[in-house]
Structure 1
Amino acid sequence: MHFDPTTLRRDDYGFFGPGSPSWKIWTAPTAVIGFQRAVVLEHFDPFLTAAVADARGIYSDPRARLDHTFSYFLLVAIADGRTAVQAADHLMRIHAPMTGIEPISGKRYSANSPETQLWIHITGWHSVLKAYEVFGPGPLAPEEETRYWAECAVAAELQTCKPEDVPRSREQVREYYARVRPRLCSSERAEEGMHHLLWTPRSNGAGLSYYVGSRLLSLASIALLPKWMRTLGHFDRPGIVDLAVAPPAKSLVWAFSRFDKAGLLRAAPFIAPTAGRILAQHIEGAPPARLETITPGAARERYGMRGVSTAI
């Protein structure tokens, strides 16, 4: 993803604006823990596993591949409307040629299919919220949580998700997971992907910092995953480890939030440089030209974006 950090917020406050739960949760230190949880969890969908395994991006250049994905989520959450819709259109173009045959079912997969895009979207937004609740300040107030899921549905408008399928509450998210669970599974390629993301080797450009970072993050992110997933993916561990991880993880998150707001920015070049530039601009940038929020539809109309199609 090509991104100019000087243009993060040139026009408006984007879709959510200051004080929104999306701004608070996606820029919290816990977001990186939630993001690792999400990209691991995604592999239980065999169609997404097939797309990831065939593309090989997480293996050939894991730092860039995951940095760009995290950056997309950040841009949708905190960038101005123009930047967010540009990022979405760019991502859809990258995904467009990613089609093939899923080997377990023998059915065709498409990275831009509404079902796959919804799975990516919900696992991402749910995972960062869960990390915030467990290792950060704790659960949102009821009215904030209601707003968070409403904002999640707005963000889904930038992808090919069918609006009627997008959950709009925690209960609806639970219902969504229950609905898709029968098609979730593990496989040799899924385990390869999950283990690679949790414990990225020092190869193919990952480097020492990413090698260490993935392992440190995995201590916390595994604790956020359901027991049945950990067992199915062959990365389960004793519950005592989860209990031991919680206090230091919470302490580190508190320290970053309380004493060193830029601490993650200094670490970002070693883990996710593009995401780091986005966060830096969010914290240090000037207010936009218009002190207002905008809808995805209005942003596309104002800036001449074509939008995305659910056609495959």
Structure 2
Amino acid sequence: MSDPRMMAGRGWPFDPTRPRRDFGFFGPDSPTWKVWTHPTALIGFQRAVTLEHFDPMLAAAVADADGIYTDPRGRMDGTLSYFLLVAVGDSRTATATAELLMKVHARATGIEPISGKRYSANNPASQLWIHVTGWHSVLKCYEMFGPGPLSPAEESRYWADCVTAAELQTCRPADVPTSRDEVRAYFDAVRPTLCSSERALRGMHYLLRTRGGRGRGRLWATSRALAPATIATLPKWMRTLGEFDQPAALDRAVVPAARAVVRATRSPAAMSRVVAGTLPMTRSVLQWHFDNPTAQRAEVVSPAEARERLHATPA
């Protein structure tokens, strides 16, 4: 995934040379656009992909695929650029990308070694865990290291947007939390099903501090720079379960430091420099987003309408 133009020619639906067709599912006045394009989303993303491993089925799928170890940059770049396209892309691109991802996930099946049960990357419960941890983590880091809490009206809309975005995955929209209280209730409900294992611990620690190697220097440095801030956002039980706790003094020190870095990287140009060379597809999506503030059709559409349009008309 090193060259966005090449990816567009290989079936990746995003083409950075095309103008924005519409405002996607949320639009420029939405808190979703504001939160997902803020520098704090990088910390939130590291948080989310780390927490995914608490789902034993997802931990098995990641371990069997081995992609985060053989191509960590490509895997992380593809995942974050997907979330971004759903949040800020035009509806056709976001829908086509989601459908491509589900086809890829359909091949990711196997046996979870501890329970002996069959896993599937497209399983609705696992997809819900990915979805909720992603949207919650990005908002949590926006609040903690960025501008602070959204207004009550913005937060209500943010969680409504989260439900809308879930329509692009296999999870049932009716199961998606619609408020902060429902997010807490969801975490309480799934906590007994979460666990860690040797494979899960390996994945979590690798994502927090990715190993170096040829072409991985910036990813090595970025993951380590983000890790203390990421861990500072997590409750004690998650740190204990994941065996990556850190001293309270480091928690206190990292918050103002992270806020200062975030303020320094808030401009689109600064954000582009931060991800350049580390997450090229993500950089391309962000650059396209900032370069296309208007749309050919100034409208917001639903995922259902987007799917109908996608399959009714050629690109």
Classify the TM-score, shorter chain: over 0.9
Residue in 2 aligned with 1:99? 109
Separation in 2, partners of 1:193, 1:160? 24
Note the 1:24-103 alignment, pairs <5 A.
24-103=34-113
Equivalent residue for 1:214, pick from 206, 223, 248: 223
Matching residue within 4, 8, 25 for 2:15: 4
Deviations 1:73-129 (A, max 9, x none): 000000000000011001001100100111121111100011111110000000000
Q: Is 1:295–2:302 an aligned residue pair?
A: yes
**Aligned residue runs from structure 1 range 102-251, under 5 A:** 102-203=112-213, 207-251=216-260
Verify: 1:268 aligned to 2:275, yes or no.
Answer: yes
SS in 2 for 1:270: coil
Matched residue SS, 1:291: coil
Distance 1:241 1:206, change over 3 A: farther
The 1-side partners of 2:215 and 2:51 are apart by 21
Alpha-carbon displacement from aligned partner over 1:152-192 (angstroms, at most 9, x marks no partner): 00000000011221111111111111111001000000000
Deviation, 1:219, is 1.7
In 1, Cα distance between the equivalents of 2:53 and 2:260? 30
| RMSD, matched Cα | 1.2
SS of 1:145 mapped into structure 2: helix
Alpha-carbon distance in 2 for matches of 1:6, 1:261: 18
In the TM superposition, what whole-angstrom CA distance separates every residue of 1:232-258 from its partner, at most 9, and x where no partner exists? 11111111001011111001112222x
Does the CA-based 8 Å contact 1:117-1:159 persist in structure 2? Answer: yes
Q: How far has the Cα of 1:267 moved from its partner?
A: 2.5
- Alpha-carbon distance in structure 2 between the residues aligned to 1:209 and 1:224: 23
Counterparts of 1:219 and 1:286 in 2: how far apart (Å)? 34
CA distance in 2, matches of 1:267, 1:222: 20
- The TM-score normalised by the length of structure 2 is 0.93
**Could you say if the C-alpha distance between residues 206 and 229 of structure 1 is closer, same or farther in structure 2, counting changes exceeding 3 Å?**
farther
**In 2, Cα distance between the equivalents of 1:176 and 1:271?**
33
Q: 1:44 to 1:248 in 2, by over 3 A?
A: same
Structure 2 gaps, min length 5: 1-6
AA in 2 matched with 1:18: P
One-letter code aligned to 1:209: R
Instruction: Report sequence identity in percent.
Output: 59
- Which consecutive unaligned segments of at least 5 residues does structure 1 have? 306-312
Q: Check conservation: 1:200, 1:206, Cα contact below 8 A.
A: no
Of 31, 34, 43, the residue aligned with 1:21 is: 31
Letter in 1 for 2:116: G
Alpha-carbon distance in 1 for matches of 2:155, 2:202: 35
Task: Supply the AA of the counterpart residue of 1:5.
Answer: P
Shift, 1:285, TM fit = 2.1
Aligned-pair CA distance for 1:286? 5.5
After superposing on structure 2, the runs of 4+ consecutive aligned residues of structure 1 that deviate more than 3 Å are: none
Aligned residue-pair number: 301
Distance 1:206 1:294 in 2: 40
1:310 is aligned to none
Q: Distance in 2 between matches of 1:178 and 1:122?
A: 13
Compute the TM-score of the two structures, normalised by the length of structure 1: 0.94
